[in-house]
Amino acid sequence: MSAGTVVLVGTAVFAVGCATGGTGLRDGGPARTEAVSRTTPSGASPEDSSAASAAASGQALKKVDPVALLMKDPKVGTEVKRDLKPCSGKEYPVDVSYGKVTGGPVADIVINVLSCADALGRGTYVYRADGSTYENVFSDEQPPVYAEIDRGDLVVTKQVYGKSDALAYPSGEDVITYRWNGEKFTEQDRVHSEYSNVVDGGVQPAPVTSQKN
């Protein structure tokens, strides 16, 4: 992880089912495909080491209630809001990352909303601090989608499914890298991977084609 990027994120990833978890420090990377973390809207305190790392990077870390932020945001779709309910108890299917992605003095927030039934990404959103409030500067509600912070860039992964594809075996994926230009995110790179048939119980990737802007 580079010194300029701090990411505080739920400690698990995409999967079928709902698992509980806390928060921790991690670098951005490919879309997550093994388990799913649940972030409670009460805003459990992050680990001390994560807060210390954020401070060391020169970024202020201002924690938020991610569910309340989404519910108050007019840019979040009605269907996403309607289905944003606890999977069990008070555990919401929301992953939250704090990190440097728009270059502001306060850490940006990346929120991924997942489904309880199959843990697919329902929507992903980026919020930038604007005084005492946060502004929605990026959103994608075309599932399945998941976003992470990688060395200051926003990396969005979208699984691609054919009509007969099982949930566990998509036909491929698109990995799109966005960069903040001072006013909005612009696409910098797009990598499309197509997967071959299942081999030895796993999906084997075919050659990757990359398109850069």
pLDDT at 75: 96
pLDDT at 212: 58
pLDDT at residue 126 tops 50:
yes
Burial 185-203 (b: 16+ CB within 10 A, else e): beeeebbebebeeeeeeee
- Using a cut of 0.85, tell me whether the model's pTM lies above it: no
pLDDT at 10: 40
Cα–Cα distance for residue pair 156/31, rounded to 1 Å: 8
Confidence band for 11, pLDDT divided at 50, 70 and 90: very low
Question: How far from 41 is each of 2, 44, 89, 208, 209, CA to CA, in Å?
Answer: 29, 8, 12, 39, 40
pLDDT at 44: 40
Q: List, for residues 22-62, the tens digit of each pLDDT value.
A: 333 233 333 443 333 333 333 443 334 334 445 545 667 88
Q: List, for residues 133-191, the tens digit of each pLDDT value.
A: 999 999 999 999 999 999 999 999 998 888 888 877 888 999 999 999 999 999 999 99
CB 162 within 8 A of CB 179: no
